[in-house]
C-alpha cells in the first residue's frame, strides 16, 4: 500500500474546500496558494474528483469548485480512490494470485491490513477532519495577520518543528 502525493494532495485540497466553503465557488489558484500545491497539478487532481461527483465546477467569472455534498457525506477513502489510488497492501492487488497462481503465505495478513485501512478511511469524513483541533489551529495560525508586534506561527521548516515569526 502506497499513498502517493496525488492522493495526499487530493485530500488536502478537498479539506481546504471544506474549510473555506463560503457559498461561492473556490478557485484552484486560491487552494494552490494556501496549500503550496502546483496549480497545474491541482487541475489534474480535480478532473477525476469532478468525474466522481465529489466536487462541482462553475465556469466563468466567479467560477471555481464547490464540494458536491456536505463535508460530513464525503469520506477520505472516496477521495483517495477517486484519483486512482489503491488502498491495497497485497502484492497481487487482492487477486489471490501472488505466488504460483495462488495466494502467498502472508496474503491474508496483507488483505486484512488493506481492509482495516480502507474501512478506517471510509469512516473519516471531511467534516471529521475540519472539526479536528489540530486542523482548526493550523487554519487559524495561517489566517492570523502579522502586525503591531503580534506573532504568527509559520509552517514547519521540517516535520515536527514549528517556527514563530515576530510581527513588524
CB-side exposure of 111: number of CA atoms within 13 Å? 13
Distance separating alpha carbons of residues 17 and 58, to the nearest angstrom: 14
pLDDT at 34 (0 to 100) = 93
pLDDT, tens digit (0-9, with 9 covering 90-100), for 108-166 = 888 888 889 989 999 999 999 998 867 777 777 776 554 444 444 444 443 443 434 44
100 pLDDT band, cuts 50/70/90, is: low
Q: How many helices (H) does the chain have, and how many strands (E)?
A: 7, 4
Instruction: Tell me which of 104 and 39 has the higher pLDDT.
Output: 39
> Angle CA(1)–CA(31)–CA(23) in degrees, nearest 5?
115
pLDDT at 98 (0 to 100) = 66
And the C-alpha cell for 19? 474549510
The answer to whether residue 61 scores a pLDDT higher than 50 is yes
Instruction: Tell me which of 5 and 95 has the higher pLDDT.
Output: 5
pLDDT at 158 (0 to 100) = 38
And the C-alpha cell for 110? 496483507
Distance separating alpha carbons of residues 97 and 51, to the nearest angstrom: 31
75 with 123: CB under 8 angstroms? yes
pTM, to two decimals: 0.76
What phi and psi, each to the nearest 5 degrees, are found at residue 90?
A: -75, 150
Amino acid at each position: 500500500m502506497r499513498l502517493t502525493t496525488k492522493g495526499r494532495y487530493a485530500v488536502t485540497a478537498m479539506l481546504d474546500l471544506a474549510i473555506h466553503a463560503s457559498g461561492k465557488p473556490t478557485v484552484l489558484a486560491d487552494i494552490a496558494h494556501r496549500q503550496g500545491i502546483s496549480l497545474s497539478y491541482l487541475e489534474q487532481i480535480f478532473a477525476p474528483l469532478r468525474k466522481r461527483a465529489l466536487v462541482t465546477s462553475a465556469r466563468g467569472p466567479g467560477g471555481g469548485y464547490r464540494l458536491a455534498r456536505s463535508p460530513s457525506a464525503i469520506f477520505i477513502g472516496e477521495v483517495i480512490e477517486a484519483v486512482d489510488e489503491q488502498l491495497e497492501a497485497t502484492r497481487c492487488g487482492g487477486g489471490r494470485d501472488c505466488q504460483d497462481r495462488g495466494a502467498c503465505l502472508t496474503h491474508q495478513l496483507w488483505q486484512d491490513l488493506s481492509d482495516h485501512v480502507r474501512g478506517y478511511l471510509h469512516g473519516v469524513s471531511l467534516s471529521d477532519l475540519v472539526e479536528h483541533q489540530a486542523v482548526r489551529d493550523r487554519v487559524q495560525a495561517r489566517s492570523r495577520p502579522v502586525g503591531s508586534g503580534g506573532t504568527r506561527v509559520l509552517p514547519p521548516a521540517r516535520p515536527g518543528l514549528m517556527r514563530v515569526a515576530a510581527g513588524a
